[in-house]
Amino acid sequence: MEMQKENIQHFNFMGMKNPFLLKNMGEALKRIIKAVNEREKIVIYGTCDLDGITSVSLLLLVLKYLNADVEYFISDEVDDSSIKSDIIENHIKFLGTKLMITAGCGISSVPQVKLCKNLGIDVIITDYHSSEEILPETIIIDPNQKQCTYPYKNLTAVGVTFKLCQAISMYYEMKCVGKYLDLVALGILSKQTDVSGENEIMVNQGIYCINYTNNYGVKALLKINNISSVNWKSICELSNKMMRSIKNKRYIDNARITVELFITENMDRAEQIAKYLKNEIV
């Protein structure tokens, strides 16, 4: 662990910042290593906007690559950044969860984190919101939390998740983590936020990756939406279409279906989902 952390001090991933500059990254990595190596049940808890969906999909793909025992749950409320107690009690607990990792939410969910602790579930919060709440005995990765000196504060949910995946990839010597920037680009652009600094690097690299993607879901989206020229304009338009598809009246189903789109290993299935989502645009 220390050797990997030392190595990363000299690691420059396409001009991005060292992920270990994020407060608590070392602790988060250590807990994830334990869960992966001991085959503990991991559940990723995310939100149903495209930023949250790409975050969940990204972390799922990375952990599945490591043969982790991992599942996910998408919150059933639009634009919700908190964890729900009923979801923990009625779903997360019954999966036999030992570690829950949030994707872009949970920084203010004090009672819910305490509930998880009482149920024997460890929690890693990855978020990008600011909060005055203090989460007791919780591993938090958030550039906007107090005493975090990470130099770039405008990361979105999928940006923070990618920083976590960078750290994981260094420990497990994964050479392929950069290919997941296709999902990162879609997530960042969906927020219509500041695309400068590290966000700009991730979007630029993500658009490059989309040209050569091996993600069946992304390939299907390009095909079904007749995108032959992959550039900022076309990917921004695709991201906007995806948001409109997800936010239809069946948004929670569409959010889960979109996760399946991004993690499927079957091209025919991917094209079916992409066609369905295209028809959901209102």
Helix (H, G, I), strand (E, B) or coil at 245: helix
Q: Which two tokens stand for residue 16?
A: 């991005």
Burial of residue 149 (number of CB atoms within 10 Å: 0-12, 13-18, 19+): exposed
- Residue 139 pairs in a beta bridge with 124
What per-residue confidence (pLDDT) applies to 137? 81
Helix (H, G, I), strand (E, B) or coil at 123: strand
What per-residue confidence (pLDDT) applies to 3? 42
Looking at residue 78, its amino acid is V
CATH code, 267: 3.90.1640.30
**pTM listed for this prediction:** 0.93
Domain count for the chain, please give it: 1
Q: Which two tokens stand for residue 245?
A: 């598809």
**φ and ψ of 218, to 5 deg:** -65, -40
What per-residue confidence (pLDDT) applies to 267? 97
Cβ–Cβ < 8 Å for 62, 168: yes
Mean pLDDT of residues grouped by 10 in the chain (282 residues)? 48 78 97 97 94 97 97 78 88 95 93 95 95 84 94 96 96 90 96 87 95 96 95 94 84 90 97 94 67
What per-residue confidence (pLDDT) applies to 6? 47
Looking at residue 44, its amino acid is I
Which residue segment(s) compose the domain that 8 sits in? Answer: 2-279
